[in-house]
């Protein structure tokens, strides 16, 4: 009833419906042109990252002085945090707080910001904590290489920091610009303690002089820390502001002229120290054009920003700046993910255009009627555009996963359109041939409702099939959510369109003129052949069973041979190479090695460009020390992708003494999300572990404070759990260590000279790292003034030991005399989680389930005694837990049962439902075999394609059996070979049309191969083709045969209650008149004449007998009232 | 055929149960349980011929690190000799390395392309020259450029 009334209303208001449809198409297409496009969806859980720079601090001191106060006092306890973890590396404290999925990202940032305001209590060794801007899942938008040709690297850094970066930050969508290789200008006052001693000057005199000479100083013990303001003078008429100019002191020469405190003006700064322009020690570097003098700017974007727009915005900003940056070359081609998106879009567009042309040709060939072809050509894109428009209104970016969902729904969309239109044409043809007097509207209404009623169940089955994907939880759930969304929207849109627009268009177009409702010549020729083949086939149901059995067995047998890889591997031309040297490697060494590898890689034919970053940058996304570097290799578009990749891997594998890995940048983006909870990069690969960052499934985390004690406890735990049944290969994961110079002041010796440990520290800090004594302001920029030791003072371990310290009584003492200076070891990076240091003991569990193994380990560990403030936690780090595998499997089982129940409801017979249900795997087997032929792999596209095949197979089964049942009820056909032949014969045309159309539409995607943009759709198309073959054969041959064999006992029940799908029960009187259940008379007994006409018209057969029992059976079976 | 001699009902039942099993397997195996073939990212493959090997010396804790000629060329390996200057053993500062525990050492080269670690004690460093208070005898060949790569090859690099 509902369906009929919807169709009736659409027919009545057909002009309005069509106008809305056309309007929707137009609006949709224009709006979608500007829609944000990206390769990956936004699937990062909401997180906030706080970085605190403290150049020169070792990892342990960073942890002690910065990370611990921030974590423990301020950030712990923010509402909604799932995981709080931190990494302390030399010079940087990085704290990451991951919130639960329901938290809004901006609310989370607000809560963290409130806590950070109180961070002024941190010791004055670092810059203030910075909350990094929110970043997209594929955060890097561009890498810009600056090669200073005519200017010095310091000048280039100044330009980059003060001119280029602010301009780029103003581009809409840019969240952050990190500059690698930045050498900030510093005015350095370099001292040598020996020289100072010879001249009788103390270090503190130099510091005071240099600091007080400045306008502003951060050192609170200097007078310059309170610069004061100039004030103003008021005349009777005017107010004159007083301003101080410090122009001369901003150059080394100028500063050198300042007289040193305490020398009565006899000595100047340049006499006791060397005043030069310099830069702070490097925390990282960039390799551009093969040398390490350049800079690399990495531009990152906000979540939801459109990569293409941001890229072009950045290009425009750079072009505007170019005239003023003539001393250096700017290279934007090192890394641009937008080129992948452009390649993908152009490939997809080409494939879609060809598919569209083939669609039109197929429709023309099989429908052979310009009106029906036109209707299909309007309706099929309309469903997809409507779905895409709703997605756009929801604010989602268009990504590869979303497109995959839309692509899979194409099978349903095409079938819906073809089925509706085909049935309308058939009924119109019968009506006109039988000379009927009903209005075209009624015919269209009945035909549409008739076609739609079985398809409602099929649509529900298609919608249910995606439920297990929608149930997936965690990061993989967020990754695949767009798939479920777009698929459901497209299927629903197709349903709505088939109920509203298609009937309206049919009526509108067929009311004009005199349509010639011919059957296409192809169908006319093939139909009789089909009927002949079918008649032979249905006599041998054994053959059908055997063929089904063979197909299913073949499909089952092929399954273990296929490798499922759920994460798509994109043909991304930006390849990332990671290098890691032994901890403690110097920046110069790493830059040299990286530059060398870079030039080797550039020589590979097919590599267009190489740029590299060494170490880290301020607000950068790499939390590493200078022993780590990343090369970005660009493969040129004309090169052989696989061969070039192989050469790159080869060249990287030959590099000695480093740990290396090669991967595409899109895969790296996925792995970065996998690393979010633990800070540890997942192993490269294509399984779900990449998204969840799981290494070993069983982890015992020992929390504590002292690293040595922690190690001991971890070893104890390792011993304990190695005895547990099923636990394999337990090992303690320790952070690697690096050599450091430990300075420990000996209090008694220091006391002899009147020194305190703090004095030793401050002198060493000033001489080795430097102490900032002031800031200079020049040309709207700010630079530091720093006092530090000459390079010879900080060149080797012995020079540290021999450093001279001023004693309070005017003498000097070497550092080695008052302190122990020894090289020792220290952790390279200190990880904390849940506000505590920890050490992991990981193990694998084999031979039993993970849960059982974990509970045994828990039980054993409960008996172990830990020292105060130490404890151990057992974690099952499992991908299955994060995606909630139990729920997925459960929902899959429920879906299977629901499909069975839907089949029963559609076919009104348990036996037939079982029959239909059991033949579904036959169709799927075709897809499996196609996947086997196409490389023995089940990538994401192939797995999704089974949805389409399932949808088609379910439709074919339901509609065929439904048709046969209707024939039994309407025309009172007895169950037999004739009925089946008749029913299948009527199904031949629509099934063949829809199957051929779908096959031709996916053909371009098969032929174009696995190129950029088609990585998901190509295997999907192959599997769909394979599945189409088997499901068509199933629907046309095997299912009729099996129905004939097994369906005899399943007589359709009379439906006494008017069905929601539009089938009404009607009683037939003895004279053939048709009555409603409440007795009122209805129209003439059309069905007989109609079916007779169709019967005669359809097949050119040789003497099959007309149906036996056409005379009405009074009061028996209900009929379909028309 | 044997299949056809069975009672039709049982045939049907057998076929149905077989197909139900198939359906269950298909739906479960499509669950994305990974038997992953990694094609998106890789650990770098080791090339066919080994570019370097580490050979433990029997009876001691030391190991010999052997490089191939190609490996040495790629690294730009250079060596120098320990000399005597002013009565003291000196070697280039670039030959000095510290291990993870902070002990100073250098890589000697008993044979071409073969390297062995030896402890040294540094008294002081003058510019580019390290003056040794203890170490291998004068005339020993030590690695200068490429010492860090030899170290990385010997101890391996753990992920951080």
Tokens (6 digits) for A142: 């561009």
pLDDT digit string, tens, across residues A1084-1117: 444 444 444 444 444 444 444 444 444 433 333 3
What sign results for the dihedral spanned by CA atoms A252, A258, A262, A266? Answer: positive
Contact B153 A656 (CB under 8 A): yes
- Contacts of residue A1036, defined as CB under 8 A and 6 or more positions apart, other chains included, come to A530, A534, A984, A987, A988, A991, A992
Distance in Å, alpha carbon of B110 to nearest chain A alpha carbon:
20
Query: Cβ(A413)–Cβ(A494) under 8 Å?
Result: yes
- pLDDT score at B17: 62
Closest CA to A438 of A1069, A1086, A1080: A1086
* Residue A328: how many other CB atoms lie within 10 Å: 21
The whole-angstrom distance between B128's CA and the closest CA on chain A is 10
pLDDT of residue A683: 80
Q: Are A818 and A805 in contact (CB under 8 A)?
A: yes
**pLDDT over 80 at A1080, yes or no:** no
Smallest CA-to-CA distance from A293 within A153, A119, A424, A405 is with: A153
Q: How near does any CA of chain A get to the CA of B132, in Å? A: 11
CB contact under 8 A, A823 and B93: no
Would the CA dihedral through A971, A975, A981, A984 be positive or negative? positive
| Residue B90 resides in a domain | yes
Per-residue CA distances from A844 to A471, A695, A727, A729, B113 (Å): 28, 9, 6, 6, 40
- Pairing state of beta strands A563-565 and A937-939? parallel
Percentage, residues of chain A above pLDDT 70: 93
ipTM (interface pTM): 0.74
Q: Kindly list the residues from chain B whose CB atom is less than 8 angstroms away from the CB atom of residue A736.
A: 100, 157-158, 160
Inter-chain residue contact A740 with B102, CB threshold 8 Å: yes
Q: Which among A589, A798, A1046 has CB closest to B123?
A: A798
- Cα end-to-end span (Å), chain B: 66
In B, minimum Cα distance to A920 occurs at B23
Residues 6+ apart with CB under 8 A from B142: B79, B80, B81, B82, B91, B92, B95, B106, B107, B108, B109, B136
Paired strand residues for B64: B55, B116
Q: What is the pLDDT of residue A1097?
A: 46
Q: What is the pLDDT of residue A186?
A: 92
Contact flag A656-B42 (C-beta cutoff 8 Å): no
The answer to which of A236-250, A380-394, A1089-1103 has the lowest mean pLDDT is A1089-1103
**DSSP labels, A831-892:** EEETTEEEEEEEEEE-SS-HHHHHHHHHHHHHT----TT-EEEEEE--HHHHTTHHHHHHHH
pLDDT exceeds 70 at position B16: no
pTM: 0.85
**A889:B28 CB<8 A:** yes
Q: Tell me, letter by letter, the H, E, C secondary structure of A623-642.
A: CCCCCEEEEEEEECCCCCHH
Is residue B86, in this structure, part of any structural domain at all? yes
pLDDT, greater one: A759 or A311: A311
Using CB atoms, which residue from A660, A683, A798 is nearest to B125? A798
Name chain B contacts of A564, Cβ cutoff 8 Å: 29-30, 32-36
The residue with greater pLDDT, A14 or A519, is A14
- The β-bridge partners of A772 are A786
Query: Could you say which of A593, A650, A663 has the minimum Cβ distance to residue B41?
Result: A663
On whether the CB atoms of residues A817 and A802 are closer than 8 A, the answer is no
Encoded tokens for A146: 């600056």
CB A762 within 8 A of CB A815: no
**Edge-to-edge order in the sheet of strand B121-126:** B83-85, B88-92, B129-134, B121-126
pLDDT at A235: 87
Tracing tokens 């139900």 back to the chain, one arrives at B20
Residues 6+ apart with CB under 8 A from B61: none
The stretch A264-279 carries a mean pLDDT of: 92
Tell whether B46 is covered by a domain: yes
Q: Which residues contact B33 (CB under 8 A, 6 or more apart)?
A: A564
Q: What is the pLDDT of residues A439-485, one digit of tens each?
A: 888 999 999 998 888 899 999 999 999 999 999 988 999 999 999 99
Q: Which residue of A656, A685, A882 is the best one to mutate when testing the B interface, meaning the one whose CB has the most B CBs within 10 A? A: A656
Measuring CA to CA, which residue among A537, A546, A860, A556 is closest to residue A717? Answer: A860
Q: Which of A60-64, A113-117, A1057-1061, B52-56 has the highest mean pLDDT?
A: A60-64
Containing B125, the helix (H) or strand (E) segment is: strand B121-126
Residues in chain B with CB shorter than 8 Å from the CB of A943 are 30, 32
Phi, psi for A937 (deg, rounded to 5): -135, 150
Q: How far is A273 from chain B (nearest CA, A)?
A: 20
Q: Which of A94, A551, A654, A697 would you mutate first to test chain B, the one with the most B CBs within 10 A? A: A654
Determine the Cα–Cα distance for residues A757 and A1069; give it in Å rounded to an integer.
112
d(CA B57, CA B64): 7
Rounded-to-integer distance, Cα A764 and Cα A754, Å: 17
CA torsion through residues A976, A979, A985, A990, sign:
negative
Determine phi and psi for A175, rounding to 5 degrees. Answer: -95, -35
Contacts across the A-B interface (CB distance below 8 Å): 233
B123 band by pLDDT with thresholds 50, 70 and 90: confident
CB contact under 8 Å between B76 and A596, yes or no, is yes
DSSP class of A729: E
Q: Is B13 domain-assigned?
A: yes
Three-state DSSP state, A8: helix
B19 contacts on A by Cβ (under 8 Å): 548, 552, 918-919, 921
- Residue A824: its H or E element: strand A819-827
Residue B1 has pLDDT above 60, yes or no: no
- Out of A668, A796, A1046, closest to residue B12 by CB: A1046
Instruction: Provide the token pair at A814.
Output: 């070497």
Structure tokens at A1052: 């359709």
pLDDT (tens digit, 9 = 90+) per residue, A671-711?
999 899 888 888 877 888 888 888 778 889 999 988 889 98
Give the domain CATH number at B134. 2.40.420.20
* pLDDT of A466: 94
pLDDT of residue B20: 57
Residue pair A279/A234 in contact (Cβ under 8 Å)? The answer is: no
Is the model's pLDDT at A767 over the cut of 70? yes
What is residue A1017's predicted lDDT score, i.e. its pLDDT?
94
**Are A69 and A121 contacting, i.e. CB atoms less than 8 angstroms apart?**
yes
Rounded to an integer, the average pLDDT of A581-586 is 92
Q: Which residues contact A197 (CB under 8 A, 6 or more apart)?
A: A804, A812
A513 pLDDT higher than 80: no
Residues A84-97: what's their mean pLDDT?
93
Report residue B85 as tokens.
């200057």
In a domain, B160, yes or no: no
Q: Determine what percent of chain A is predicted with pLDDT higher than 90.
A: 53
pLDDT tens figures, A1017-1075 = 999 999 999 999 999 998 898 888 888 888 877 666 555 444 455 444 444 444 444 44
**What is the per-residue DSSP string for A994-1008?**
HHHHHHHHHHHHHHH
The larger pLDDT score, comparing residue A545 to residue A633, is at A633
Integer Cα distance of A312 and A308 in angstroms: 6
For chain B, how many structural domains are there in total?
1
pLDDT confidence of residue A1042: 87
pLDDT score at B124: 85
Pick the residue from chain A with its C-alpha nearest to B130: A796
Q: How far apart are CA A195 and CA A214, in angstroms?
A: 24
Residue keyed to tokens 């139990």: A886
Inter-chain contact A918–B44, Cβ cutoff 8 Å? no
Please tell me which of the candidates A649, A656, A663 has its beta carbon nearest to residue B74: A656
**The pLDDT value given to residue A696:** 79
The domain containing residue B44 runs over which residues? 3-155
Confidence category of residue A748, pLDDT binned at 50, 70, 90? very high
Digit-coded pLDDT (tens) for A173-197:
999 999 999 999 999 999 999 899 8
- Residue A609: DSSP 8-state: E
Sign of the four-CA dihedral A906, A912, A917, A921: negative
Per-residue tokens: A906? 């559609």
According to DSSP, residue A1109 is labeled -
In-domain check, residue B94 = yes
Query: Do B70 and B104 meet the contact criterion of CB atoms below 8 Å apart?
Result: no
Q: How far apart are CA A600 and CA A380, in angstroms?
A: 52
Chain A residue with minimum CA distance to B38: A685
Q: B53 contacts in A (CB within 8 Å)?
A: none
pLDDT number for residue A1057: 43
Test A654 with B71 for CB contact under 8 angstroms. Answer: yes
DSSP 8-state symbol, A1034: I
Pairing of strands B114-119, B129-134: unpaired
- Asked if pLDDT for residue A835 goes beyond 90, the answer is no
- CB-CB contact of A54 with A62 (8 Å): yes
What's the confidence (pLDDT) of residue A952? 93
Contact A1015, A570 (CB under 8 A): yes
Residue A894 burial (10 A CB sphere; 0-12, 13-18, 19+): middle
What is the nearest CA distance from B69 to chain A, expressed in angstroms?
A: 12
Phi-psi region of A935 (alpha: psi -120 to 50; beta: other; left: phi over 0): left
Q: What is the pLDDT of residues A909-926, one digit of tens each?
A: 888 899 899 889 999 999
Of B12, B19, B151, the CB nearest to A657: B151
What are A209-221's pLDDT values in tens digits? 999 888 888 888 8
3-state class (DSSP) for residue A39 = coil
Largest CA distance in chain A: 133
Of A295-309, A487-501, A779-793, the least confident: A779-793
Asked whether residue B87 is assigned to any structural domain, the reply reads: yes
Chain A residues in contact with B22 (beta carbon < 8 A): 552, 555-556, 921
Cα A694 to chain centroid distance, Å, stands at 17
- pLDDT interval class at B14 (50, 70, 90): low
Q: What integer best gives the mean pLDDT of chain A? A: 87
Cα separation, A335 vs A298, whole angstroms: 9
What secondary structure does DSSP assign to A922-955, as a single string?
Answer: HHHHHHHHHHHHTTSEEEHHHHHHHHHHHHHHHH
> What's the gap between Cα A815 and its chain centre?
55
Closest CB from A656, A688, A892 relative to B75: A656
Over residues A841-887, the pLDDT tens digits come to: 988 888 888 888 888 899 988 888 899 889 999 887 778 878 888 89
Beta bridge partners of A776: A783
Test mutation, A582, A800, A1044, chain B, max B CBs within 10 A: A582
With CB atoms and an 8 Å threshold, state whether B152 touches A649: no
């Amino acid at each position: 009833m509902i369906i009929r009334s919807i169709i009736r209303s659409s027919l009545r208001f057909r002009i309005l419906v069509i106008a809305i449809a056309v309007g929707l198409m137009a609006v949709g297409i224009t709006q979608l042109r500007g829609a944000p496009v990206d390769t990956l969806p936004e699937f990062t859980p909401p997180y906030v990252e706080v970085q605190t720079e403290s150049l020169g601090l070792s990892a342990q001191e960073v942890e002690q002085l910065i990370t611990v106060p921030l974590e423990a006092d301020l950030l712990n306890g923010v509402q909604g945090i799932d995981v709080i973890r931190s990494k302390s590396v030399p010079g940087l404290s990085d704290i990451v707080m991951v919130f639960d999925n329901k938290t809004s990202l901006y609310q989370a940032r607000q809560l963290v910001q409130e806590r950070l305001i109180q961070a002024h209590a941190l010791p004055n060794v670092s810059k203030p904590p910075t909350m990094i801007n929110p970043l997209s899942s594929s955060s890097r938008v561009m890498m810009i290489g600056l090669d200073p040709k005519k200017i010095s690297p310091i000048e280039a850094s100044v330009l980059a920091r003060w001119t280029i970066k602010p301009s780029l930050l103003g581009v809409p969508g840019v969240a952050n610009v990190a500059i690698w290789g930045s050498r900030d200008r510093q005015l350095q006052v370099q001292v040598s303690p020996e020289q100072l001693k010879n001249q009788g000057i103390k270090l503190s005199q130099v510091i005071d002089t240099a600091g007080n000479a400045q306008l502003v100083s951060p050192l609170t013990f200097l007078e310059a820390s309170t610069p004061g303001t100039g004030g103003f003078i008021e005349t009777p008429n005017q107010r004159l502001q007083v301003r101080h100019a410090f122009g001369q002191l901003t150059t080394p020469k100028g500063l050198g002229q300042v007289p040193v405190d305490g020398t009565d003006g006899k000595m100047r700064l340049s006499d006791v120290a060397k005043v030069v322009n310099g830069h702070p020690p490097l925390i990282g570097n960039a390799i551009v054009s093969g040398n390490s003098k350049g800079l690399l700017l990495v531009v990152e974007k906000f979540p939801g920003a459109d990569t293409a727009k941001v890229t072009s915005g950045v290009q425009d900003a750079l072009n505007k700046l170019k005239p003023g940056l003539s001393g250096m070359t700017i290279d934007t081609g090192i890394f641009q993910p937008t080129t992948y998106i452009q390649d993908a879009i152009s490939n997809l567009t080409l494939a879609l255009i060809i598919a569209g042309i083939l669609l039109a040709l197929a429709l023309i060939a099989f429908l052979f009627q310009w009106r029906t072809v036109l209707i299909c050509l309007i309706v099929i894109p309309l469903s997809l555009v409507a779905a895409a428009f709703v997605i756009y209104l929801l604010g989602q970016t268009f990504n590869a996963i979303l497109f995959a969902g839309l692509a899979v729904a194409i099978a349903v969309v095409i079938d819906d359109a073809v089925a509706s239109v085909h049935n309308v044409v058939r009924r119109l043809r019968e009506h006109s041939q039988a000379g009927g007097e009903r209005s075209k509207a009624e015919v269209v209404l009945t035909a549409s409702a008739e076609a739609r009623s079985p398809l409602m169940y099929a649509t529900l089955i298609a919608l249910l099939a995606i439920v297990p994907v929608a149930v997936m939880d965690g990061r993989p759930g967020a990754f695949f959510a767009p798939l479920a969304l777009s698929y459901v929207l497209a299927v629903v849109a197709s349903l709505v369109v088939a109920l509203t627009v298609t009937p309206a268009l049919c009526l509108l177009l067929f009311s004009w003129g005199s349509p010639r409702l011919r059957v296409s010549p192809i169908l006319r020729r093939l139909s009789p052949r089909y009927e002949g083949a079918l008649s032979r086939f249905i006599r041998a149901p054994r053959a059908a069973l055997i063929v089904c059995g063979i197909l299913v067995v073949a499909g089952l047998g092929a399954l273990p041979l296929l490798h499922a890889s759920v994460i798509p591997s994109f043909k991304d031309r930006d390849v990332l190479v990671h290098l890691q040297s032994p901890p403690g490697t110097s920046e110069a060494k790493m830059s040299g090695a990286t530059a060398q590898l870079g030039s080797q890689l550039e020589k590979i034919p097919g590599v267009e460009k190489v740029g590299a970053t060494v170490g880290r940058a301020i607000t950068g996304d790499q939390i590493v020390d200078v022993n780590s570097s990343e090369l970005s290799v660009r493969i040129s578009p004309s090169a052989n992708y696989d061969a070039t990749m192989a050469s790159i891997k080869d060249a990287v594998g030959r590099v000695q003494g480093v740990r290396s890995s090669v991967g595409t940048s899109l895969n790296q983006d996925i792995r970065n999300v996998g690393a979010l909870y633990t800070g540890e990069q997942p192993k490269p690969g294509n399984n779900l572990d990449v998204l969840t960052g799981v290494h070993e499934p069983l982890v015992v985390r020992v929390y504590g404070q002292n690293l040595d004690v922690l190690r001991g406890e971890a070893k104890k735990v390792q011993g304990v759990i190695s005895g547990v049944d099923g636990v394999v290969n337990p090992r303690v994961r320790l952070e690697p260590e690096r050599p450091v110079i430990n300075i420990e002041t000996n209090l008694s010796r220091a006391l002899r000279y009147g020194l305190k440990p703090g004095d030793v520290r401050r002198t060493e800090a000033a001489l080795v790292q430097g102490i900032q004594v002031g800031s200079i302001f020049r040309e709207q920029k700010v630079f530091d003034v720093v006092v530090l030791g000459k390079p010879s003072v900080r060149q080797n371990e012995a020079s540290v030991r021999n450093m001279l310290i001023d004693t309070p009584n005017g003498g000097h003492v070497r550092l080695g005399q008052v302190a122990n200076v020894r090289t020792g070891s220290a952790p390279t990076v200190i990880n904390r989680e849940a506000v505590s240091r920890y050490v992991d003991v990981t193990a694998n569990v084999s031979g039993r389930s993970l849960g059982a193994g974990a509970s045994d380990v828990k039980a054993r560990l409960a008996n172990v005694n830990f020292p105060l403030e130490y404890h151990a936690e057992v974690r099952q780090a499992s991908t299955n837990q994060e995606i909630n595998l139990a729920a997925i499997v459960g929902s899959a089982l429920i879906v299977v049962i629901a499909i069975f129940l839907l089949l029963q409801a559609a076919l009104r017979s348990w036996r037939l439902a079982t029959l239909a249900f059991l033949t579904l795997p036959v169709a799927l087997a075709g897809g499996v075999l196609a996947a086997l032929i196409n490389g023995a792999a089940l990538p994401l596209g192939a797995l999704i394609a089974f949805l389409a095949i399932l949808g088609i197979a379910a439709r074919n089964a339901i509609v065929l059996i439904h048709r046969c049942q209707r024939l039994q009820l309407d025309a009172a056909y007895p169950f037999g070979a004739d009925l089946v032949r008749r029913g299948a014969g009527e199904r031949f045309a629509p099934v063949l049309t829809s199957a051929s159309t779908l096959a031709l539409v996916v053909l371009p995607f098969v032929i174009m191969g696995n190129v950029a943009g088609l990585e998901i759709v190509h295997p999907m198309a192959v599997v769909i083709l394979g599945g189409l073959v088997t499901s068509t054969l199933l629907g046309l041959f095997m299912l009729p045969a099996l129905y004939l064999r097994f369906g005899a006992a399943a007589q359709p029940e009379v439906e006494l209650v008017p069905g929601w799908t539009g089938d009404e029960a009607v009683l037939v009187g003895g004279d053939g008149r048709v009555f409603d259940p409440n007795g009122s008379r209805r129209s003439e007994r059309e069905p007989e004449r109609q079916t007779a006409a169709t019967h005669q018209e359809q097949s050119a057969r040789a003497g099959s007998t007309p149906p036996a029992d056409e005379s009405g059976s009074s009061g028996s079976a209900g009929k379909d009232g028309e | 055929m044997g299949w056809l001699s069975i009672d039709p009902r049982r045939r049907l039942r057998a076929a149905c149960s077989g197909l139900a099993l198939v359906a269950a397997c298909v739906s479960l195996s499509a669950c994305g349980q990974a038997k992953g073939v990694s094609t998106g990212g890789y650990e770098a493959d080791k090339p066919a011929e080994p570019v370097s090997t580490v050979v433990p010396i029997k009876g001691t804790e030391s190991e010999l690190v052997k490089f191939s000629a190609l490996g040495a060329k790629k690294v730009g390996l250079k060596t120098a000799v320990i000399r005597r200057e002013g009565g003291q053993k000196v070697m280039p500062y670039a030959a000095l390395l510290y291990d993870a525990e902070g002990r100073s050492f250098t890589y000697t080269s008993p044979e071409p392309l073969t390297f062995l670690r030896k402890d040294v004690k540094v008294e002081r460093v003058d510019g580019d020259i390290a003056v040794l208070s203890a170490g291998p005898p004068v005339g020993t060949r030590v690695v200068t450029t490429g010492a860090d790569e030899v170290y990385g090859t010997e101890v391996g690099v753990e992920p951080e």
